[in-house]
Each structure stands twice: as structure tokens, then as C-alpha cells.
Amino acid sequence: MNKTDDRRRTTNIALWIVISAVVTFGLVALLVNIMERKQEARNPFYRVVEITDSTDDPTIWGKNFPLQYDQYRRTVDQVRTRFGGSEAMPRTPDDADPRSVVSQSRLEEDPRLKTMWAGYAFAVDFREERGHAYMLEDQTYTERQRVTQQPGTCIHCHASVYVAYKQLGEGDIRAGFEKLNQMPYQQARQHVKHPVSCIDCHDPETMQLRVTRPAFIEGIQKVKAAQGIESYDVNQMATRQEMRSFVCGQCHVEYYFQGQEKRLVYPWTDGLQADQILGYYEKTGFQDWTHRETGAPVLKAQHPEFEMWNQGIHGRSGVACADCHMPYQRVGALKISDHHVRSPLLNVNNACQTCHRWTEKELLDRAETIQQKTFDMRGIAMDALIELISDIREANQKGIDADRIKEARSFQLKAQFLLDFIEAENSMGFHAPQEAMRVLGLSIDYSRKGQVVLSRSRKSQVSLSR
Amino acid sequence: MRTPPLGLFLFALLAGAAIGVGAYTFIYARGSSYLTDNPAACANCHIMTSYYDGWLKGSHKNAAVCNDCHTPDGIVSKYASKASNGFWHSFGFTTGRFHEPLQIKSHNQKITNAACKKCHETIVESLNFHSPSSPVSCIQCHASVGHL
């Protein structure tokens, strides 16, 4: 054996040692990785604090459910979609309103809204809705609060109100509801601390979904009664999939304040469609305010997302609100609902593509085509309504006979409510495209009928069919 | 026994360690289960849990296991497909580099689509009568038959 051979042998052995060391290193790394993945799959839940039926503070729930809480907090994001979403606008805080950021004003985007709501607080301040995180703050400081005295009823949907109801009603949420409704807003505001929170939708024992809003419990009872289901108890009888829409329907609905007690009622006795709701209001003679320019008794429609979803193909197919607005998401080995509630158009991958196997662009295009068409039709209906309002105003000045003015005003009420139903609904027609078009078509028809009533000569006047 | 030179001894030690760790990893990761047709093996990785759950509740549970639809016919092609997918799936899952929600690769999609015919050929053979060159895809429409 010479020296060269010896050196070669040493090098060879060293090389093999390096190779087997690298292999061992890799194997151990893989082993640890597999162990970590197995650990993930164990589905850990650490109960670090006790949550009771009186815990309304989401930070406490967040200690046990950090993943969901983290997502929930992201509703502070302000992101625009083509027809909705909100944009952060800087604002100089003042004594009456300490907010330094708000969203864009809808009244500035479309000044016709001011004419439609003339004489009502919405004509003073109406901005694009921001995420859940802002619901209480934005309601507390909107200028609408300063031009009119709002009742405590409003809190029903702008705060985590379940614990407050329970305390005021000494355990009975309905009794608490009645009490809080009748307080002035500012007084009721003292009883709540947080925007919508975990306890508003979840049972603290089982984490199962539950409805906590008395107005929805009563409202859905009416809907089910019309379908022949007597004494429906939503928390006992609804399926899990239904609950994934019902908890949202607690608030994303059309409503009114009934009587002197300002009791919150969902007008669903005759059905969930816009014209059925309108019919209910006409039957009961309810009016929100008297239009300042025409003297017509009129109604304000409010965010009827639940009603419109019910008329659409997704609702019909059993797709729940949460399926698109809180789609399932994998975190480690856990499959959880995304608690960052937002427009599906900002989350097409998880929200749409789970069922619809087309590209993100194709799906966005489809949604925006529906929205653009609804938006165009909404513009036509808005113009028709503005023309009717202008005609009634003129007729008031001319002093034509009172019956015709009264009839034209009743057409204004119909046209305005139906248009506002689509305008106030936060999907620009997407939740139920054909229904949105039908309702806007009805609205245009009523506006034009109102104009015809005023323009006809007295001789040929025949009451138009409604 | 003659004592081996130190270098060789070290090498043998390391190689033995590598084999030992490798064997342990194989057992710990239930490596042999992947050679079987048991659907539970596919859900060894938790990423497959929801698909496995979907299959458990689906109609095809009574007729087919994962391998019936996701591997081609023939023992060689079957294990070649398992080896290739096994490697790339492990690679993706270990490094965390994969698309979510999961998307099937076109090669695997062809295998799955062809698998429908293993049982349903007599019903669907006339579908491709007009354009045998571009056959109709079964799973384009029946995407959820096996699992959601």
C-alpha cells in the first residue's frame, strides 16, 4: 500500500461518511416533519378560560379560539369591490364624532338618493357599510343620530346585545328586548360594549350556532307558519345548514319599528318577497316618514339580504350565507369557517371555486355582469322615481285635485320602496338576479303609472289598476 | 476479530444509523399501508381527511375505494402511479408547496375519468360515438360522485 492509495482510501471513507450523514440528517428532518403533521391532526383545543352565557367580550372567547378570533378581527379591513365594499376615507375628528376614518358617502356618489329620502335622516348622512368591526361605532357617530332621536331598538343589530337583553330581562331575552327598545338610543348604548360578538351566534357550552335575536325568532315563526309549520322554534327545529344562514338573517333583513314602543318587527307575515312586504306595510298603514318634497307617506327599505338570498338560486340550492361569506378554510389540519366575514368577490378561490370549477376571472366576470345589469336597471328606476317626485311636486304647486295627488303619492310609496329594496340590498342583485330585475321592473311601472295619473286630463281619468 | 480502521467503523456507524432512522420513519409514517388498497391509508395525511370523510358518506363507498378511481389498471401502471403520486404528494405536503383548495393534475384527471368506464362503460360508450378523438369528460359534470 503506498501513500496515494492510503489518501484515496481516506477520502473515500470521508465521502461516504458525509453522504450517510446527509441521508441521516434528511431522514431525521422528515421524521420530525411527519411527527409535526401528525401532531396537527390531533385537533387540539385548549380551554384556557371559562366561557359562560354571560361572556360577551370577544377577547375572552379569543383565548380559547385564537384562530377564529384572529379572523374575526380582520373585519376591520376596508376593501372595495366594484359595486360594494368600503374605502377608508380620512376624516377630521371633532367633538361630536371622534372617527378619523370613515367610508365613502353614498349620497355623494348618487345625489338622487337625497331626493328619494328628502325629509328623512338618511338624506343627511349615508355611507357605504363597513365591516362588522365598525357596526357599533358607525351607528353611534352617524350624523343621523344628531338630526333625529333614534330609539334603543337600533342596538338590536349594531351591538352584541344578548347579555344586555338577558340582564335587563332578568334571564328572559324577550323581556330585555322590550325594555331596551323603548329607551332612547344614547341610554340603550350604555348597556352594550361590543359590536357583534361570538355569543351572538354561538352557544358557549357547545359552540353550536343559535339565534339570539327575538325579532328573528318571531319573524321566522311567521314565515314557517305561512308554510304550514305551527309554533316553529328556530333553536330547536332548524337544521345545522339552515342555521348557517339564520344566524346572519338575525340582522341582514328588512324591518320596521312597530307602535309607540318602537318594537322591532320583521314584516314577513305575507312572505319574504319585496312586493309581499310592501303589501303588508300598505295593509297595516305603516309609514316611515312623510316625503318633504311631495307630501307622500313613504317607507325606507333596509338591507334585505336574507330575503333576497331566499329568492335566488343559491338559497334554493341550500347554499348558506356562511358557505360564501365564511367559506371553510384549512388551518393546519383543522377545517374552520373563515370568521373574516366579507364579500365572496374578495375570496373567490375559497368562496366560489369550491363548487364552480372555472377560473377566478371567469367567476368574477359572471358576478359583475349580473351586478352591472342590476346597477343599470337601478339607474333607470331611480330616474323614473325622480321624475315622478318632480311631477307630484309640480302638481302640488298647481293645486290639481286632491284625489289624483293622493293616488300619485301612493304610487310613489310603492315605486320608492321597491327601488330602495334593491338599492339597500348589499349584493347589487347577485343574491337573486331575476328577482332584483322583477322588483325594479315593478318599481319603474309604479313610477310611470304615478306620472300618468297626474298627466291625464280630468275627463279621461280612470283609476289605474294597481 | 480484527478491529476495522476507524474511518470504516465511523462509516458503518453512520450508515447503520441512517438505515435505523429510515426504518423507524417508514414504520412511524405507516409506509407499508401505502402498498395496500385501504382508503384509510390515503387519509394518513390529514389533508385528505375531508375527502375521506366525503367518500365515507358518498354512494361510491359501496362500490369503489380510492385506488379504483385514482390509479390505472394493471399492476405495473398502478404501482408506478402510486409511486409517482406518493413522491410528489409527500414532497408537496412536507414543503407546504401546493395549491389550495387542492387541484387534480391533468394526468391524474385522465386516470380518474378513464376509471369511470371500468364499471360504467356499457352505459356511456355511445356518448363518444360522434367525436372519438375528444371524448366527453364524465367528471366535468359528475365531479362530486366519489367525494365532495
The residues, ordered by sequence, that sit 6+ positions from B60 with a Cβ below 8 Å of its Cβ are B69, B145, B146, B147
In DSSP notation, chain B reads -PPPPHHHHHHHHHHHHHHHHHHHHHHHTTGGGGGS--HHHHTTSGGGHHHHHHHHHSGGGGT--HHHHHS-SSHHHHHHHHHHHHHHHHHHHHHT---SS----HHHHHHHHHHHHHHHHHHHGGGGSS-TTSPPPHHHH-TTSS--
* pLDDT greater at residue A43 or residue B104: B104
Q: Is the pLDDT of residue B148 over 90?
A: no
Cα–Cα dist A133/A81, whole Å: 18
Euclidean distance between CA atoms A93 and A89, whole angstroms: 12
pLDDT of B49 above 70: yes
Chain B from 68 to 97: CB within 8 A of any A CB:
93-94
Q: Which three cell numbers, joined as nine digits, stand for B123?
A: 352505459
What backbone phi and psi angles, to 5 degrees, belong to A85?
Answer: 70, 180
Tell me which of A49-58, A248-257, A455-464, B13-22 is least confident: A455-464
Contacts of A40 in chain B (CB under 8 A): 46
SS3 (DSSP) at A298: strand
User: What pTM was computed for the model?
Assistant: 0.84
Query: A44: helix, coil or strand?
Result: coil
Those of residues 47-66 in B touching chain A at CB distance below 8 A are 47, 49-50
Q: By C-alpha distance, which of A425, A342, A411, A333 is closest to A378? A: A425
What is the residue-averaged pLDDT of chain A?
92
Half-sphere exposure of A253 (CA within 13 A, CB side): 30
Taken as a whole, chain A contains a residue count of 466
Beta-sheet strands, E only, within A381-451 = none
User: Are A383 and A349 contacting, i.e. CB atoms less than 8 angstroms apart?
Assistant: no
pLDDT value of residue A454: 94
What distance separates the 2 farthest-apart alpha carbons in chain A? 130
Beta carbon pairs, A and B, within 8 Å = 62
pLDDT at A253 over 70: yes
Angle, CA B134 vertex, CA B133 and CA B140 arms, to 5°: 155
Query: Residues 18-37, chain A: which have Cβ within 8 Å of B?
Result: 20-21, 23-24, 27-28, 30-31, 33-35, 37
Going from the C-alpha of A327 to that of each of A336, A340, B59, the distances in angstroms are 8, 9, 25
- Among partner residues A31, A335, A353, which is closest to B28 by beta-carbon distance? A31
CATH 3.30.420.40 describes domain B37-141: no
Cell of A4: 496515494
Task: Name A359's Cβ contacts closer than 8 Å, sequence gap at least 6.
Answer: none
Cβ neighbours for A127, distance < 8 A, ≥ 6 positions apart: A86, A102, A103, A104, A105, A106, A138, A142
Residue A215: per-residue pLDDT: 96
Host H or E run for residue A346: none
B11 close contact with A: CB closer than 8 A:
yes
Closest CB from A13, A27, A333 relative to B18: A27
Tell the CATH superfamily of the A275-319+355-466 domain.
Butyryl-CoA Dehydrogenase, subunit A, domain 3 (1.20.140.10)
Reply yes or no: is the peptide bond before residue B101 cis, omega within 30 of 0: yes
* Tens of pLDDT, residues B92-142: 989 988 888 788 899 999 999 889 988 998 888 777 666 667 778 888 888
Q: Are the Cβ atoms of B49 and A333 closer than 8 angstroms?
A: yes
Contact A13 B11 (CB under 8 A): yes
Q: Is A391 a residue whose pLDDT tops 60?
A: yes
Q: A89 pairs with which residues across the strands? A: A102
Does the pLDDT of residue A315 top 90, yes or no? Answer: yes
Quick: pLDDT tens for A202-238: 999 999 999 999 999 999 999 999 999 999 999 999 9
Nearest CA in chain A to B12: A17
Find out whether A49 and A62 touch, Cβ atoms under 8 Å.
Answer: no
- The confidence band for A46, taking pLDDT boundaries of 50, 70 and 90, is confident
Number of C-beta neighbours around residue A205 at 10 A = 9
Q: How far is A133 from chain B (nearest CA, A)?
A: 28
| Residue of A8, A15, A27 best to disrupt the B interface, most CBs of B under 10 A | A27
The domain segmentation of chain A, as residue ranges, is: 51-208, 275-319+355-466
Instruction: Give which of A413, A393, A388, A405 is closest to A458, Cα–Cα.
Output: A405
State how far the Cα of A62 lies from the Cα of A238, in Å rounded to an integer: 27
**Within a 10 A sphere around the Cβ of B112, how many other Cβ atoms?**
18
Distance between CA atoms of residues A61 and A47, nearest Å: 10
Q: Are A163 and A56 in contact (CB under 8 A)?
A: yes
Q: How far is A310 from chain B (nearest CA, A)?
A: 24
| Of the candidate ranges A35-39, A112-116, A446-450, the one whose mean pLDDT is the lowest | A35-39
Q: Which fold has domain A51-208?
A: Flavocytochrome C3; Chain A, domain 2 (1.10.1130)
Using one digit for the tens of pLDDT, what is the confidence trace for A184-207?
Answer: 999 999 999 999 999 999 999 999
Q: Which helix (H) or strand (E) holds A248?
A: helix A240-249
CB A220 within 8 A of CB A249: yes
Measuring CA to CA, how many Å separate A111 from each of A107, A116, A148, A205, A233?
Answer: 5, 9, 21, 49, 44
- 3-class DSSP state of A387: helix
Could you tell me the CA-to-CA distances from A253 to A96, A216, A287, A421 in Å, in that order? 29, 9, 18, 10
Is residue A464 very low, low, confident or very high in pLDDT (cuts 50, 70, 90)?
A: low
Location of C-alpha cell 325629509: A119
Q: Do B24 and A350 touch (CB under 8 A)?
A: no
Angle between helices A433-455 and A360-398 (to 10 degrees): 20
Q: Does A356 touch chain B (CB under 8 A)?
A: no
Confirm or reject contact between B24 and chain A (CB < 8 A).
yes
